[in-house]
Every structure is written in structure tokens, then in C-alpha cells.
Amino acid sequence: MKPIVAGVGMTKVGEQWSKSLKDLALEASLEAIDSSNLIPEVVVFSNMMSGRLQAQDHLGTLLVDELGLRGLPAVRVEAACASGGAAFHVAYNMIKSGLYNIALVVGAEKMSDTSTEQTTTALMTAEDREYTGFYGASFVSLNALAHRLYMERFNVSEEEMASLAVLSHENGINNPFAMYRKKISIKEVLESPYVADPIHLLEAAPTSDGAAAVILASEEVVKSKSYAVSVEASTMATDTIRYYEREDLLTFESAKKAFANAISASKIEKTQIDIIELHDAFTIVGYLTLESTNIVERGKAAKLIANNKFSLSDKPSVNTMGGLKSRGHPIGATGLFQIAEIYLQLTNNAGKNQVDNAKVGVAFNVGGVGTTTSVSVLKRR
Amino acid sequence: MSESVPRYWRENKVRERLIGSKCENCGKITFPPRKVCPYCKSKKLTEVELPKEGKLLSYSIVRKPPAEFEKYAPYAIGIIALENGVNIISQLTDVDLKDIKIGMALEGIVRKYREEGEEGLIHYGIKFRPKLK
Amino acid sequence: MKPLREVGILGFGGYIPMYRIKDEEIACAWNAPTSGLPVVEKAVPGPDEDVFTMSYEAAKNAIARAKISPNLIRAAFVGTESKPYAVKPTGSMLVTSLGLDNRSLAAEYEFACKAGTEAFQSAIALVGSGMLEYAMAIGADIAQGRPGDELEFTSGAGAAAFIFSKKSEETVAFLEYSVSYVSDTPDFWRRQGQKYPQHAGRFTGEPAYFNHIISSVRTLLEETGLKPSDFSYAVFHQPNTKFPLRVGELLGFSPEKIKPGLLSPMIGNAYAGIVPLGLSAVLENAKPNERILVASFGSGAGSDAFSFVTQEALEEKKNLAPSVSDYLRRKKYITYATYALYKNKIVR
């Protein structure tokens, strides 16, 4: 029994001054519901920071009523930047268990309601407040520790480190939902100011507002082949929340475990993968994900991308719709944007960025510094 | 986002003296102290004070700080490998940002981390600086 | 004064912040003449330092030299006029951060620039009476001076900690005698809630500084029968470079005996920290069996005078912690703008 992706919905990502968190979630949800032609039986809401940024929790219930579905069971799932993948994992298991037949998973984050400092502070709640946040580390700076160590250990240049950001922007140009639809050059990345050395502003995914939604359904209710995408696996794994406690600072154990489990559950060979959506909140997260999962050799990810590997014409292609860097990173929505983007590719709806004959797509949604990883494997039926 | 007073107080000894825990079964030391050993699952752990000298493993310079750290920005944070092999995270102080190097010898002293405004509590903890001697 | 049982210094440690501003830089900022300045440069704490953190480091050095477990120490006294909290003891913060015994006395002393040696007297008394085996007394200050005021040219920063125990082969010096001398002389003060002190200009000299130091030292010499020639070193309070040399001259102590402990030209007047720091510097230079005169001055006004005699253990213990000269060498010059930022005179 494989859960089926029966429909998706996305809002434009960016600074959406006139739309509230609820408006965004509603917009993506209604679109997903309409495109699926199904009425959900349960709602799973992914969001990380609404309690701090909007002083609003109880999001599942808030949304259900607005959707005109008063009375439905609804929960909110939070796993920092991996909230979207975690919510998808929860909904996947709801369908897989047979208890529900149709689930709406919606992720939304509204980050423009607060000042940069408030948002920076809220993002740090992904880390251990007492023994990481206390010390004044910003979330970017923790990733910068890995970034610097990676450059040092594998002799990787600044230019090579910037390459994933350039690749994502290259692909984001043709994504109508993306926040920044423009090309950037290595030179522009390296000339942009440091946010936390050695990470430049243009190596960090922008904070943004946005929502994405997915309808998951059981094979029971979607017999028709027009529902073309199945979920072959949805896995999650975690690591110690304190980055400094890792045995190896350059291995994402959570990605390694979640991917290994996804491969064995889906019975899909690595060579079959056509599309990989990497969580490029920072370029280093993308590289360490590719390397920890053995998709590429240790120390090679940045160098390979700098040499044009993983482009749209390559197999696999990476971040085909712009990744977090170009599309934007509305935290709780990101994991569901990744699913929705793979869905577009597998249903031949990716427009100018359509990857030829795309059959299998894998999304890595990462929370913390490789602390929580969810892996979703989608396949054209 | 200010800590509550009891929340700050609960941790101040651990933060200022670097108290970790040592597993009586497998011997591994972790910081901060734990109730269950993450390596061998033993629940027999005892408190130990960690050495305050070590080497810098990696560092970053925070230019966009979280709230209440604005006054000190830009400042450096780093992962320090203590002499007994335990890694911790800390701010670096008394050093020119451009002089920071991976591998440099550091020592821990107590410094101010932030203040809850003019009237509130002052938060202290260990910071690391280039070894003096 | 002499305690019931003989008391010695078991460990000592100094601390000086790394930043320095030259008096010339301050003069330029105020468009003032750059000649005849009271000190060459002064120590400035970094933005994450205060009297607690400076005391902590001085105490850490003192504990290293004392060669005892910190949990044997049962008193943490800090003499200062710039404690981080007006109400909340720095002493108890030191007990927790250094791992002293919780069954400790902990308090601050305030007597302007002599608060540090006032803390000495209490620690000595507790050990001398047998109430305690080990007691720590610290002098520490981040001196305040109103921007543009003449105090701004000298207000420095520093701390020094002393651990007292009964005299033994482990002590680096023992106390021979002490005198305290006070009178109500309003030469310098800071009213409750005010940020900067007021001073009475030239009145701070003869009736205040000179009268009180001379009175305490002459009393000490009279009551012990010692002569200036019996002392190898003399540490006087140092609000500038001139006063300690001048009071030495009046009392019969040559500049050679004063200079090893004369730190104000390099770090400014660290208020309650300066005399304990001067004594630390002298101990780091002294040999066993030398006599040291220490005379503090605190506005308002008073002076504590001590005679210490160094012992054999000094030779070995000197090198167990960073020395005052290590801290003097470690310096980074800053501009007046950075100084104003670090001292919270401009706030972002």
C-alpha cells in the first residue's frame, strides 16, 4: 500500500506583506484540495515559529475551520527546518496505517512580520537553547562552523563552496513561485557581505513568507491513473541537537540513516534517481547531505557542482526549481515545496525546467545543522 | 528573548565551571551533564569539571546576532576541543577577529554574555581567548 | 596590628585587561594639550568584562599559586567601587564560578581606592583569629571618570587576588604588622545612583592622599621600630605617576624601591585594584627574605599600611600563573571611539 500524491498547491514565496500566515496556508491548501478533487479527512500543519513570530499556535484547528472543514482532526508538526518533511512523514504514516484515506499536509511560515533580530532569535530555537543558543551563536554561524571546517579538511575553495547557490539560482529563474528569479555569479556571491563568516549573504537561503500543501491519499480511493505519483518511502532520523557533540563534524548521521532506510524501504537503486531536492539553506548543508548519504564521495560535492554536475541535463538533477536559495525558505513550508516541486517534475508540469522522462525524485528536508533529516522518495506510477 | 531568572540560575554553575558528566561504564565524558550515556546507555554518570584549555576546531564570526547580543557584534564563536578530547561551543574573546586560526591554543575564563537591559540580570559563562602563557 | 597567629600569603594573582588607550589619544579627543599628562596609557576592559570577571581571573591565578583545591577557601571578599550589581554580592558569584566552599563568607568592601586592602584586613583577621584556614581578598575596579574630566586620563582597570593562610613553608610572604588610619576627609565621592565620581581638585593631595598615607606609614614604622632602609620595596597608592614617588620621597623611600610596584604609568589608576596589583608585581620580582611596605589610600579618607616579608616558597610559586608583566605585555591600543564604545559612553 503506497500513499499517493493526489494534488499539490503552492503560494508565491517572498515578502507577502498583505497576507497573513493563515491566508498563505489557506491559499496553498485550497489549491491542493481543488487540484486533487478530494476532501481531506485529516489535516497536518507544518510550521516552526508561529508561537514566537505571530503569537499564534493551535494552527491545525485554526486552518480547518477556515477551509470549511470544521470538525476534522488536525495537528501541527514541528521539527525546525525539517517541519515540512516531518509533517509529510506523519501524514504518510496516517495513510499507510489505513486509519485515514485522505490527508492534507500543509506547511506555512510567515517571517516578515518581525524584525531580523527577532527572526534570528526564533530560528535559534532549533538548537539547544541552554548550551548553544546561550553562547550567542546564530543559526547561520553554526552552519558556518561546518562550512569552514569543510573547506579546510577537503581543500575546497570559496568559489567551489558558492557553486550550489549559483546552480539553484540558475534553475529558479523559471519557477513562477520562486522569490529570487535571477541568475547569480560566483563573483557576486563572494562579493556579497558575510552573514556569519565564511558564509556570504548569497550562500544563505532568504527568510520568506510562503505555503505549500500536498494531498496524500490511499490507493483505495485513488484508483485512477491520473493520480500519477506515489510515495515510495518517507523516513526520518535525528542526531544530537548540539552540533559540537557530533563524532564527526562533517557527517550528517541523520541524513545517512534516513536515506539508507528510504533506499531499503523503497527498493529503488541510487542510479534510478532522476531528481534530488537538497535542503540548501546554506550550500554546506547540500554538500554534506550528498556526501553523508554516499551519493557522492567525501569532499567532492562542491567540486562536482562547480564542474557543472547535477544540472538539469544531468542525472540526477539537483534543485530543479531553484532549491531553498532561489525559491526562498519559508521554514515550515520548505519540505512541502520540495515535494510539490518533485510532483511537478514527475507529472511533466515543470515547464522550461522539465527534466526529461523524470521518474524518481528524492527530497532531503534538513532541520538544525543536519540534526533532523526527512527523506521522501516519490515515483511516477 | 530573555531567560527567566530560575532558568539562568539552574545552569550557571555548569556554564561557569564547565561541569560535564562522565560515564562510569564506558568512561566517555559529555558536556553538559547527562542522565543517560549517549554511547552505552548506562545511567551511572558522575559530574566532572572539564579542563579549560584546548584548541580551536572551527569558528565563525557572527555579524547578524540574535537579540541581546547586538552590543557585542561582530564576535566570534568556535568549537573548542578541550584537552581531554571533549568538544564544546563558546564565544572567543580578547582576540582580533582577523587573528583567529584553526588550531590555536585557547583558555577559558568567565566573561559576560549579555545583559537583560540596564536593570535586569547579567548573564555570564566561559569564553575562550588565546592562551596567555 | 598583629593577628593572634601569624598569617601569610599562600597565593596571589593579578589581572589586567588587554586594551590600552594612550593619554595622548584622550587629550586629542578633547583638544587638550598632549604634554604633562599624568600617565602614559591606561588599561581598558573589553565590552564583556566587569569587576566580577576581572576578579575571577585574578582569583584563578591566585588559586594556581596557592596550590590548594578551591573548595578549601571559605571567604571571598572583593574591595571595589564598581561592582556589577549595586545590590547582589560579587563574592557569592566567585564562590560558585570558582568552586569555593558554599560554607563561605562573601562580601564586598567599599572604601574608594583602599577597598582592596580593607578586604585584606578582614581576611587576615579571620585567618589570624583561627576562624578560617583560607580566606581570599580581592581588590578590583574599573575606574570611573567623567568624559573630559581629568580623571578620564588616569581611570584604569585591574584586579589582584590574595589568598591568606596561617604562616607556613607554603606561604610566599608573611604579614609582619599592619596599621589602618582614617578620618572624614571629603576629597572624592560618588553619590548614590550617580554614574561618575566628584572630586575636590587639589584638595585630594595634601590633606587627603599625603596626610593619610604618611600617618599610616609613620605609625607602622613607630610601632614596629622599622626604618625605611629595612624595606626593599614600597607600594603606595598610585592615582598618577607623581604622587607615589612624592610620598615615598617624604617618607624616605627611594624611587628604586617604588618603581617595581609602580603600575599606574602603564595601566592608569585601577582604584581598589592598583595597590594589590602593585604588590603582585613586586612579589613577582622579589627574592625570599625581603621586606615590602604596602600603603593604600582611599578617599573619604584613609590608608592601610602593611609590612610583608617574603619567604622561600615565593621562588617556585611565582611561575605557576601568568604574571603582571605577562598582562602588561599583552596589549592592544584602541582609539577614543572604540574606548567610548567599550565603556558604554556611546550605545548602539
Pairing of strands A210-217, A4-10: antiparallel
Q: In sequence order, what E strands does A157-281 have?
A: 194-197, 199-200, 210-217, 229-238, 275-277
Do A and C touch, 3+ Cβ pairs within 8 Å? The answer is no
> Is residue B1 predicted with pLDDT exceeding 50?
no
Contact residues, C window 9-68, toward B, CB-based 8 Å cutoff:
18, 46-50, 52-53, 56-57, 60
| Assigned C-alpha cell, B120 | 535586569
- Give yes or no for C333 touching B (CB within 8 A): no
Beta-carbon contacts of C36 under 8 Å, excluding residues fewer than 6 positions away, are none
Q: What is the mean pLDDT of residues C283-302?
A: 98
Residues on chain C touching B132 (C-beta within 8 angstroms): 322, 326-327, 330
What pLDDT, in 10s, does the model give residues B59-74?
999 999 998 899 899 9
What pLDDT, in 10s, does the model give residues C303-325?
999 999 999 999 999 999 999 99
Can you give the residue range of the structural domain that contains B124?
5-130
The answer to whether the Cβ–Cβ distance between A148 and B66 falls below 8 Å is no
User: Does A58 qualify as catalytic in the annotation?
Assistant: no
Residue A163 has a pLDDT of 98
Q: Which of B62, B98, B99, B110 to mutate to test the interface with A (most CBs of A within 10 A)?
A: B62
What CATH number is given to the structural domain containing A236?
A: 3.40.47.10
How far is Cα C197 from Cα C150, in angstroms, rounded to an integer?
Answer: 12
What pLDDT, in 10s, does the model give residues C150-171?
999 999 999 999 999 999 999 9
The answer to whether the Cβ–Cβ distance between A149 and B57 falls below 8 Å is yes
- Give yes or no for B20 touching A (CB within 8 A): no
Burial of B102 (0-12, 13-18, 19+ CB in 10 A): middle
Phi then psi for C89, rounded to 5 degrees? -70, 135
Cis-peptide into A55, omega within 30 deg: no
Residue A284 domain-assigned (yes or no): yes
> Is residue C44 predicted with pLDDT exceeding 70?
yes
How far is Cα A308 from Cα A329, in angstroms, rounded to an integer?
Answer: 24
Q: Which of A146, A197, A244 sits opposite B89 (nearest CB)?
A: A244
Q: Which of A133, A149, A240 sits opposite B58 (nearest CB)?
A: A149
Chain B interface residues facing chain C, Cβ-Cβ under 8 Å?
Answer: 12-13, 16-17, 49, 70-72, 93-94, 96, 109-113, 122, 124, 127, 132-133
Which chain B residue is nearest to residue A250, measuring alpha carbons? B58
Phi then psi for A285, rounded to 5 degrees? -65, -40
Provide the number of structural domains found in chain B: 1
Q: Which of B13, B96, B112 sits opposite C53 (nearest CB)?
A: B112
Residue A306 domain-assigned (yes or no): yes
Which chain A residue is nearest to residue B82, measuring alpha carbons? A244
The neighbouring-strand residues paired with A328 are: none
How far is Cα A211 from Cα A51, in angstroms, rounded to an integer?
Answer: 17
Residue B105 has a pLDDT of 98
How far is Cα A291 from Cα A271, in angstroms, rounded to an integer?
Answer: 15
SS3 A327: helix
> Is residue B2 predicted with pLDDT exceeding 60?
no
Q: Which of B93, B124, B133 sits opposite C46 (nearest CB)?
A: B93
The answer to whether the Cβ–Cβ distance between C97 and B110 falls below 8 Å is yes
Residues on chain B touching A250 (C-beta within 8 angstroms): none
Can you give the residue range of the structural domain that contains A39?
4-115+205-380
pLDDT band at B40 (very low <50, low <70, confident <90, very high): very high
Q: Which of C56, C98, C330 sits opposite B132 (nearest CB)?
A: C330
How far is Cα C22 from Cα C40, in angstroms, rounded to an integer?
Answer: 6
The answer to whether the Cβ–Cβ distance between B15 and A116 falls below 8 Å is no
Residues on chain C touching B96 (C-beta within 8 angstroms): 332
Phi then psi for B17, rounded to 5 degrees? -110, -5
Phi then psi for A336, rounded to 5 degrees? -85, -30
How far is Cα C308 from Cα C231, in angstroms, rounded to an integer?
Answer: 9
Calculate how close chain C gets to B40, using CA atoms only, in Å: 30
Residues on chain C touching B128 (C-beta within 8 angstroms): none
Residue A352 domain-assigned (yes or no): yes
- Closest alpha carbon to A233 in A124, A357, A366, A374: A374
Q: Which of C49, C98, C327 sits opposite B111 (nearest CB)?
A: C49
Residue A36 domain-assigned (yes or no): yes
pLDDT band at B79 (very low <50, low <70, confident <90, very high): very high
**Which residues of C are known catalytic residues?**
81, 113, 237
Q: What is the mean pLDDT of residues B95-114?
A: 97
Residues on chain A touching B123 (C-beta within 8 angstroms): 134
Residues on chain B touching A242 (C-beta within 8 angstroms): 89
Instruction: Say if residues C27 and C37 touch (Cβ distance below 8 Å).
Output: yes
| Assigned C-alpha cell, C28 | 586629542
**Ranges of chain A whose pLDDT falls below 70:** none
- Structural domains of chain C in order of their starting residue, each with its CATH number: 7-172+322-342 (3.40.47.10), 173-315 (3.40.47.10)
- How many angstroms separate the Cα of C167 from the Cα of each of A212, A283, C6, C164, C312? 76, 64, 5, 9, 12
The total of other beta-carbon atoms located within 10 Å of residue A123's CB is 23
| CA-based R_g, chain A, Å | 19
The answer to whether the Cβ–Cβ distance between B64 and A242 falls below 8 Å is no
Calculate how close chain C gets to B13, using CA atoms only, in Å: 6
- Give yes or no for C96 touching B (CB within 8 A): yes
How far is Cα C13 from Cα C62, in angstroms, rounded to an integer?
Answer: 4
> Is residue C192 predicted with pLDDT exceeding 50?
yes
The answer to whether the Cβ–Cβ distance between B64 and A195 falls below 8 Å is yes
Question: Among A81, A89, A147, A169, which one carries the catalytic annotation?
Answer: A81
How far is Cα A189 from Cα A198, in angstroms, rounded to an integer?
Answer: 12
| Assigned C-alpha cell, C328 | 602588561
What pLDDT, in 10s, does the model give residues A184-224?
999 999 999 999 999 999 999 999 999 999 999 999 899 87
Work out the percent of chain B whose per-residue pLDDT is above 70.
Answer: 98
Provide the number of structural domains found in chain A: 1
Residue A354 domain-assigned (yes or no): yes
The answer to whether the Cβ–Cβ distance between B11 and A134 falls below 8 Å is yes
Residue C183 has a pLDDT of 98
Residue A171 domain-assigned (yes or no): no
SS3 A339: helix
SS3 A290: helix
Which chain B residue is nearest to residue C70, measuring alpha carbons? B17
Give the angle C329-C335-C336 at the CA atoms, nearest 5°: 120
Beta-carbon contacts of C259 under 8 Å, excluding residues fewer than 6 positions away, are none
What is the DSSP track for A56-107? ---HHHHHHHHTT-TT--EEEE-BTBTHHHHHHHHHHHHHHTTS-SEEEEEE
Which ipTM was obtained for this model?
A: 0.96
Residue B3 has a pLDDT of 64
The total of other beta-carbon atoms located within 10 Å of residue C203's CB is 14
* Neighbours, chain A (3 or more CB pairs < 8 A): B
The answer to whether the Cβ–Cβ distance between A193 and B87 falls below 8 Å is no
> Is residue B36 predicted with pLDDT exceeding 80?
yes
| HEC letters along chain C | CCCCCCEEEEEEEEECCCEEEEHHHHHHHCCCCCCCCCCCEEEECCCCCCHHHHHHHHHHHHHHHHCCCHHHCCEEEEECCCCCCCCCCHHHHHHHHHCCCCCCEEEEECECECHHHHHHHHHHHHHHCCCCCCEEEEEEEECCCCCCCHHHHCECEEEEEEEEEECCCCCCEEEEEEEEEECCCCCEECCCCCCCCEECHHHHHHHHHHHHHHHHHHHHHHHHCCCHHHCCEEEECCCCCHHHHHHHHHHCCCHHHHHHHCCHHHHCECHHHHHHHHHHHHHHHCCCCCEEEEECCECCCEEEEEEEEECCHHHHHHHHCCCHHHHHHCCEECCHHHHHHHCCCCCC
Residue A183 domain-assigned (yes or no): no
> Is residue B23 predicted with pLDDT exceeding 90?
yes
